[in-house]
Amino acid sequence: MNWEIVMGLEVHVELSTKTKIFCSCTTEFGGAPNTHCCPVCTGMPGTLPVLNEKVLEYAVKAGIALNCDITRYNKFDRKNYFYPDLPKAYQISQLYLPFARDGHVDITTPSGVSKSIRIHEIHMEEDAGKLIHSPYGDATFPDYNRCGVPLIEIVSEPDFRSAEEVVAYLAKLKSSFEYLGISDVKMEEGSMRADVNLSVRPYGSSEFGTRTEMKNINSFKAIERAIAFESQRQIELLESGGTVVQETRRWDDNKGKSLAMRSKENAQDYRYFPEPDIPPISISEEMIKELTDAQPEFAHEKLERYVADFGMAKADAEIITSSKHLASLFEKTTELCGNPKETVYWILSQIMYFMNERGVLPENITLSPEKFARFIGIVLSDRINRQTGKTVFEAMFFADGDFDVEKYIVENNLEQVDDTDLIRETIKSVFAANPKTVEQYKAGQTKVTGFFVGQTMKALKGKAKPDTVNKVLTEELKNL
């Protein structure tokens, strides 16, 4: 039988506000255990939570970006459960009136499937702490620093049919939140975590199968592996006459397996009730308008504009818009130097190389658009050639603080050599030093020309103007 995979995602995103959702503790990642806590976020009796205004602002920004209806009057609810990572024994969340509903995210997969994933709702809630289990198996150490870090949870409809669609969706969320500046969206640090609900059904069936839920998978690769494993497990179970049990499973990426964790809980298991300590929130039309007007230009919009306005290749535009920081460096530099092509050339040839080979992260790039633009001006004015340009670019890119491109070129004697006589003399001495190659050329092996160019360049320390070298070499070859 042919099976279809059906998936719905619940994605938790930590908002990058300075302070927690209901108290003024820092949200900073790390820190010595239990040092970013206070009586409010550890749920001491008698304390009162107060909603952080920034959290609401960031959340609504996300809701608008994902095309949701913003709930003008929304509320918090208590989700009760006992677990050592939650000292209050309840999590403040939103069940009955989440702040955003009925949105959609448009995706295109690498194999060309374009579709719209419906968003059921987005709610605000607080994160729980972390449990660190002793490697000796005899103790667990709770760290409550993460308690009360603001989260939004984005619940999709069961609209995914392949791992590729899931990854495209997560990449789009990640990019949107990065451009919005509301989250670090680092899956490795847990600031974006995905739960995958998955079921299978015979192709053509209109009913959904029973689903399992895999919690907190923290990389795109792991998600692909988890989906492949779990869908296969369910198919084999059904084909051998078994039934899928609705349960929560843990994906163990090292073992490459999903393992049963607990049976699926229902809303009633949590004894939800309205949070009595926080008044309902009313969101004004002005606020919605203001936050709608403040939406940034997102990656896919930039991509279209770069292709249309600058004639950029789509693949290049994809790379540059893959990071807000790269896109901003590109735009500002282009504005200053007036040459998008040249800016793209240096980003793709040099910066991408540093990112891939040396682990440079776009958010850590310190090169200013001003320096970058001045550098491009120098290359275009023929003061240095492209080869030397790479050396200069690298020095400039990794320099900390003051770096004067002009001074660097002069001090290191890197200016382009365009002296025809000097180049001619050099070529002649290259001929003299390589009589065998000269004979080969005379015998009709014209491919040795490249060797002469290389030797001449080398003799002139890579600084000669390539056009002039080619021109003079052609003349001298005729004289042989």
Residues that bind Zn ion (CB under 5 A): 23, 25, 38, 40-41
Of the candidate spans 2-10, 103-111, 135-143, 392-400, the one that interacts with ligand ADP by CB under 6 A turns out to be 2-10
Which CB atom, from 25 or from 347, has the smaller least distance to Zn ion?
25
Place of tokens 């179970």: 237
Binding site partner of 211, from ligand ADP, Zn ion, none, Cβ cut-off 5-8 A by kind? ligand ADP
Which CB atom, from 117 or from 378, has the smaller least distance to ligand ADP?
117
Binding site partner of 38, from ligand ADP, Zn ion, none, Cβ cut-off 5-8 A by kind? Zn ion
x/- binding map, residues 52-81, to ligand ADP, per CB under 6 A? ------------------------------
Which CB atom, from 122 or from 405, has the smaller least distance to ligand ADP?
122
Place of tokens 């497990």: 233
Count of residues in contact with ligand ADP, rule CB under 6 A:
15
Which CB atom, from 135 or from 204, has the smaller least distance to ligand ADP?
204
Q: Which of residues 361-390 bind ligand ADP (CB under 6 A)?
A: none
**DSSP label at 63?**
H
Other CB atoms within a 10 A radius of the CB of residue 423 amount to 22
Which CB atom, from 40 or from 214, has the smaller least distance to Zn ion?
40
Please report whether residue 4 would count as binding ligand ADP according to CB under 6 A. Answer: no
Binding site partner of 96, from Zn ion, ligand ADP, none, Cβ cut-off 5-8 A by kind? none
User: Under 8 Å CB-to-CB from 323, ≥6 apart: which residues?
Assistant: 178, 362, 363
Comparing C-alpha atoms, which of 3, 300, 57, 30 is closest to residue 179? 300
Which CB atom, from 94 or from 197, has the smaller least distance to ligand ADP?
197
Of the candidate spans 5-13, 70-78, 138-146, 346-354, the one that interacts with ligand ADP by CB under 6 A turns out to be 5-13
- Min. distance of Cβ 56 from Zn ion in angstroms? 18
CA dist., res. 331 & res. 324, Å (int): 10
x/- binding map, residues 132-171, to ligand ADP, per CB under 6 A? -----------------------xxxx-------------
In 203-319, beta strands by DSSP E: 212-217, 247-252, 257-263, 273-274, 281-282
Please report whether residue 299 would count as binding ligand ADP according to CB under 6 A. Answer: no
CA dist., res. 85 & res. 188, Å (int): 20
Please report whether residue 198 would count as binding ligand ADP according to CB under 6 A. Answer: yes
Which CB atom, from 43 or from 158, has the smaller least distance to Zn ion?
43
Please report whether residue 237 would count as binding ligand ADP according to CB under 6 A. Answer: no
Which CB atom, from 162 or from 350, has the smaller least distance to ligand ADP?
162
Of the candidate spans 95-103, 196-204, 362-370, 385-393, the one that interacts with ligand ADP by CB under 6 A turns out to be 196-204
Q: How far apart, in Å, are the Cα atoms of 368 and each of 343, 352, 356?
A: 13, 16, 20
On whether the CB atoms of residues 214 and 196 are closer than 8 A, the answer is yes
140-172 in b/e burial notation, b at 16+ Cβ within 10 A?
Answer: eebbbbbbbbbbbbbbbebbbebbbbbbbbbeb
Own/partner contacts of 351-359, CB < 8 Å, gap of 24 or more, are 351/326, 351/397, 352/319, 354/394, 354/397
- Min. distance of Cβ 165 from ligand ADP in angstroms? 13
Which CB atom, from 50 or from 131, has the smaller least distance to Zn ion?
50
- Min. distance of Cβ 209 from ligand ADP in angstroms? 6
CA dist., res. 26 & res. 43, Å (int): 16
Please report whether residue 355 would count as binding ligand ADP according to CB under 6 A. Answer: no
Q: How far apart, in Å, are the Cα atoms of 371 and each of 128, 163, 292, 374, 410?
A: 45, 42, 34, 5, 16
Of the candidate spans 44-52, 195-203, 225-233, 371-379, the one that interacts with ligand ADP by CB under 6 A turns out to be 195-203
x/- binding map, residues 207-226, to ligand ADP, per CB under 6 A? -xx-x---------------
Comparing C-alpha atoms, which of 258, 255, 257, 254 is closest to residue 245? 258
CA dist., res. 353 & res. 350, Å (int): 5
Burial of 431 (0-12, 13-18, 19+ CB in 10 A): buried
Q: Which residue is nearest to ligand ADP (CB)?
A: 8
- Min. distance of Cβ 263 from Zn ion in angstroms? 33
- Min. distance of Cβ 319 from Zn ion in angstroms? 41
As given in the structure block, the two tokens for residue 255 are 């073992």
Identity of the residue numbered 406: E
Please report whether residue 9 would count as binding ligand ADP according to CB under 6 A. Answer: yes
Enumerate binding residues for ligand ADP (CB under 6 A): 6-10, 155-158, 197-199, 208-209, 211
